[in-house]
Amino acid sequence: MNYQFPNRPRRLRDHPVLNPMMTELRLSDNDLVLPLFVTEEREEIVAIPSMPEQFRWPVERLVEKIIEWRSLGLRAFALFPHLDASKKNEEGKEILNPDSLVYRAARRIKEEADDIALIGDLALDPYTSHGHDGILSDDGRVDNDLTVEALCKASTLAAESGFDLLAPSDMMDGRILKIRETLESAGFTQTGIISYSAKFASSYYGPFRDAIGSQGRAPIDKSGYQLNPANFREAARELHLDALEGADMLMVKPAEPYLDVIRHARERFHLPVAAYQVSGEYSRLWAAHQEGWLDLDKCMLESLLSIKRAGADLIFTYFAERAIALI
């Protein structure tokens, strides 16, 4: 049959030269942030079983590796500490130790590679014996204001250590304003804040909690401060508040399950938007690949493209090294 269709979108898709020329967006090395786990082990790199090809890095080995990653085109890194249990307590006081692991790591990294962007996580969960992101009150709930006070003190230590951006990931009320005021008062006017503004109480965080050693004996219920996965309007309110309080960048976490929230942040605010492709998103693709069900690289790139298409300017992803070899 010889149909006469005026609209044939396949004309461009079916042409081997024109098809790639019509690509609407592309991933680049400037889109990616590599999250890293630093450990107090002195020499051994420790594999994380629930996160294939991810490791806990001793400080000196991490410095060497960051220099290697920099040569490949990765320029932004987010640090998360894995502390010995002996350094954890109910209040997470180790976060206020100027010689704590993550501060020492930041100083060493910046000594050897000052032309990278280093992002410091601001939260108490790596430091508390109970694994929550804050200081608990007598009734077992996280005390918002005491936690904010601790985070403000930690923010100056992190800025002094060389972090370019601080990333409060705790979801306490009002903490962006208070951290910004603390940094300004201490003279750290150039230290930016990338706020975990819409961080959901997700089931996708399990491998990360294994990686930093905050899992505990039983699953931790953080629904008292992280967002209900069903609540879009509440997420929009949190984004709005953090923008008002002085965040330099807004974060949505996890990424792919919340593309609608990323799109809202992109359309509503005149701030850069970051999205965190979390450990569970990473590990589920790996698990399906290991079973022979999915092509890891193709699914990885499709997932990252969907996050960027939704509106993310930066993507925190454990796939960063793998992706940069393919884009």
SS (H, E, C) the chain: CCCCCCCCCHHHHCCCCHHHHCCCCCCCHHHEEEEEEEECCCCCCEECCCCCCCEEEEHHHHHHHHHHHHHHCCCEEEEEEECCHHHCECCCHHHHCCCCHHHHHHHHHHHHCCCCEEEEEECCCCCECCCCCCCECCCCCECHHHHHHHHHHHHHHHHHHCCCEEEECCCCCCHHHHHHHHHHHCCCCCCEEEEEEEEECCHHHHHHHHHHCCCCCCCCCCCCCCECCCCHHHHHHHHHHHHHHCCCEEEEECCHHHHHHHHHHHHHCCCCEEEEECHHHHHHHHHHHHCCCCCHHHHHHHHHHHHHHHCCCEEEECCHHHHHCCC
The letter for the amino acid at 14 is: D
Residue with tokens 């461009």: 12
Which are the catalytic amino acids? 199, 253
